[in-house]
Structure 1
Amino acid sequence: MTGERETIQPPHFVISSEGEILGEDTPENQELVRRVVACVNACDGITTEELENGIIEDMRRVIAQTAPLLQERSQMTDLLQREIRAEITARQKKS
């Protein structure tokens, strides 16, 4: 991936405040409306300035860095819990 963004051709429709298509009702336009609505909902609480300044890319980068660490921590926690249970079971059998 070169970092280039796909150019989106201008649609030939308007989205009403209720999310309805006013204009050309094509499968492509319906999918674009669906995407716009999903983006608006996902960005609830984020200011336009934050969006323009790249907050989404920043969040994606942080998640990409953090997710593997959290997954490793979870796996280590699971392993430790199994070892503790095995030790408790072994001690109970000795009693």
Structure 2
Amino acid sequence: MIDLFLPQSTSLAQHLIADNLQTLEIVPLVADDYRAAINLMVANNLPGGGIYDALIAQIAFRTKAEKLFTLNPKHFTRLDESMAVKVQVPTIEGS
């Protein structure tokens, strides 16, 4: 069993990502997504590295995602209250 909470090898990460991409829809970022993400960062006074989380959150908003799975919930719950309710930490079946 893979412990998602421990660092993984790059080859295992590559394999897991490739497997998951087969079942996911790829959603491209557009200029308006970048503007919205930057506005979100400014509104919350977040440092530059937060742009990656803000972009992920923006795609979740735009696509009306019901859930956003992350091992770093604080990175997203700090962005917006409506995002906070979507955030879930993944669990491993049987644990």
The TM tier, using the shorter chain, reads under 0.3
Q: Whose radius of gyration is greater, 1 or 2?
A: 1
Bigger proportion of residues as helix: 1
Q: Return the TM-score normalized by structure 2.
A: 0.25
**Larger relative CO (CA 8 A, sep 6+): 1 or 2?**
2
